[in-house]
């Protein structure tokens, strides 16, 4: 039964990590546009563009709030 002492905090910790991830997603506005993000993945604008929009794309969510 001693295994519980390890397993239980582990399970709870994983759950909490999931919850924290969920909160992080909310705070960074990832649920604001559920339609657009799916399509955004398909855009190839991070390949041959000299302006490096890749850096832009990762920075924007924080600013959207």
- Please report, as ranges, the residues that interact with another protein according to CB under 8 A: 1, 4, 8, 11-12, 15-16, 18-19, 22-23, 26, 31-36, 39-40, 42-43, 45, 51, 53, 56, 60, 63-64
Q: CA 60, CA 65: separation in Å to the nearest integer?
A: 9
Structure tokens at 45: 């604008």
Minimum CB separation from another protein for residue 28, in Å? 12
* Residue 39 or 47 with smaller CB distance to another protein: 39
Other C-beta atoms lying within 10 Å of the C-beta of residue 32: 12
CB 45 within 8 A of CB 53: yes
* Residue 1 or 47 with smaller CB distance to another protein: 1
């Amino acid at each position: 039964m001693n295994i519980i002492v390890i397993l239980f905090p582990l399970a709870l910790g994983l759950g909490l990590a999931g919850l924290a991830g969920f909160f992080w997603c909310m705070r960074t506005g990832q649920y604001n546009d559920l339609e657009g993000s799916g399509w955004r993945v398909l855009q190839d604008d991070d390949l041959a563009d000299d302006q490096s929009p890749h850096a832009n794309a990762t920075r924007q969510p924080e600013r959207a709030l």
